[in-house]
Amino acid sequence: MSATRISSFTAGLLSRKASRAAGLASCSRTFSSTRLVLKETNTSATSPFFPATSSFVRIVEVGPRDGLQNEKKLIPTETKVALINRLADAGLSVVEATSFVSPKWVPQMGDAKQVMAQITRKPGVSYPVLTPNVKGLEAAIAAGAQEVAIFGAASESFSQKNINCSISESIKRLAAVADQAKAAGLRIRGYVSCVAGCPYEGRIDPRAVADVAKDLLDMGCYEISLGDTIGVGRPREIQAMLEVVAKAISVRQLAIHCHDTYGQALANIYASLQFGVRVVDSSVAGLGGCPYAKGATGNVATEDVVYMLEGNGFETGVDLKELARTGQWISSELGRPTGSRVARALLSK
C-alpha cells in the first residue's frame, strides 16, 4: 500500500488493519503445509490406479462388503453377484467384493468363495476382498483374489473389542498376512479404523492414527484408507488428523472413508480433497454401519459423493444415473428405501 493511501486512513482504522493483517499472516502459515501437500499430490503418483490429473477422484465402492456385512437377513449369493456386476457396469473401477472371515462371526460373508467364482470380472476393475488373518488370505488366494485389504485400529479399546487383541499384536498378525500376500503377488490395501473418534475412548490422538498407518504402509500396503468409523469427525478435525498423518505418509497414498452418523461425511470428504486426498471410499445407497457404535447410520452414499464431486469440477468416471438405479434396486432387495438423497431426487424426476 502506498504512503499516500496510508495517510488517508485514520489511526483507528490502521490499528484494525494491522490486527487483521497479523491474523491473515497466521492463517497463511497454517495453510502453507496444505498447499505444499497439494503441490506434491499433483506430481507423479505411486498408486497403480492414480490418474495423471489431480482433478480425478477414484471411488472405492465398499457396499458389497462393508455395506452388507451387518445385514441380519442373509442375502442370496446371486443378489450380491448382481450388485457387484452392476456397480462395475456403472463405471466404478474398484468394487470391494466380499470378506473372507469366519461365517461364525460374520454369517453374511459366508458365501465369499461363491461370490468370487460367480462375478463377471470386468477388465480395468479391481475386486479387493477383506482378509483379516492368514486363514482368510489363503481362502482368498484359492478363490482367485488379486487384491486384499487388511485393517488395524487407532484405538486400543476398539482393537480389543473388535479383534480381541492390542494394536501392537494386531500389527504383528497383519504383517504375517501381508508377507504371505506379497509372496503370492497380491496387491494390499490397508484400513485404519477410528481415525477421528472411538465409541469407547472418545477422540483419538492423530499421532496414533499416523503410527498405525505407517505400520501398514511399511508392511507393503500401496494405499491406506483412513476411516471415521463412527462418523464423529468434523472438517477441522479431519484436516488436523491428515496434517499429522501426512508427515509420515505421502497424501498420494491416502484415502478417506467417512461415515455419516452426524451428517458430516460430505463436508469431511471435501475437506480431505482440499488437503490433497484423491481417493474416497463410499457405499452405494449409504449401506452399512458400525456394529460397535450405537446410532451409527452407515457409510456415506456413493451417489451423494459422485454428485458432490462432479459439481465441484472433479471427474469420477461413474454413470450417476446408473449408480442411482443400482442403489434403488439393492435397497428394494433389502426392503427399505435408498439412503442416498441424490438418488431419491434423481429418480423422482
Pick the range with the lowest mean pLDDT from 8-12, 167-171, 283-287: 8-12
**pLDDT, mean of residues 6-19:** 40
pTM of the full structure: 0.84
- 165-204 pLDDT, tens per residue? 999 999 999 999 999 999 999 999 999 999 999 999 999 9
**pLDDT, mean of residues 148-170:** 91
**pLDDT, mean of residues 291-304:** 75
Q: Is 290 a catalytic residue?
A: yes
* Active-site option among 194, 198, 221, 290: 290
Taking 80 as the threshold, does the pLDDT of residue 231 lie above it? yes
C-alpha to C-alpha distance for 24 and 144, rounded to whole angstroms: 55
Q: What is the pLDDT of residue 54?
A: 78
Q: What is the pLDDT of residue 23?
A: 44
Q: In Å, how far are 87, 141, 152, 179, 197 from 182, measured between CA atoms?
A: 28, 11, 18, 5, 31
Mean pLDDT score across all residues of the chain: 87
Q: What is the pLDDT of residue 162?
A: 82
Q: What is the pLDDT of residue 291?
A: 53
Q: What is the pLDDT of residue 164?
A: 84
Cell of 48: 497403480
Taking 80 as the threshold, does the pLDDT of residue 113 lie above it? yes
Highest mean pLDDT, choosing among 19-23, 48-52, 64-68? 64-68
Provide, rounded to the nearest whole percent, the portion of the chain with pLDDT above 70.
82
Provide, rounded to the nearest whole percent, the portion of the chain with pLDDT above 90.
78
C-alpha to C-alpha distance for 79 and 81, rounded to whole angstroms: 5
Taking 90 as the threshold, does the pLDDT of residue 323 lie above it? yes
Is 14 or 257 the better-scoring residue by pLDDT? 257
**pLDDT, mean of residues 105-112:** 96
Q: Which domains does the chain have, with CATH numbers?
A: 55-347 (3.20.20.70)
**pLDDT, mean of residues 310-320:** 98
Residues 6+ apart with CB under 8 A from 54: 38, 41, 42, 276, 278
Where do the H-state alpha helices sit in the chain? 3-7, 11-41, 77-89, 112-118, 134-142, 156-163, 167-183, 206-218, 235-245, 265-275, 302-311, 320-333, 341-347
Highest mean pLDDT, choosing among 7-21, 272-286, 290-304? 272-286
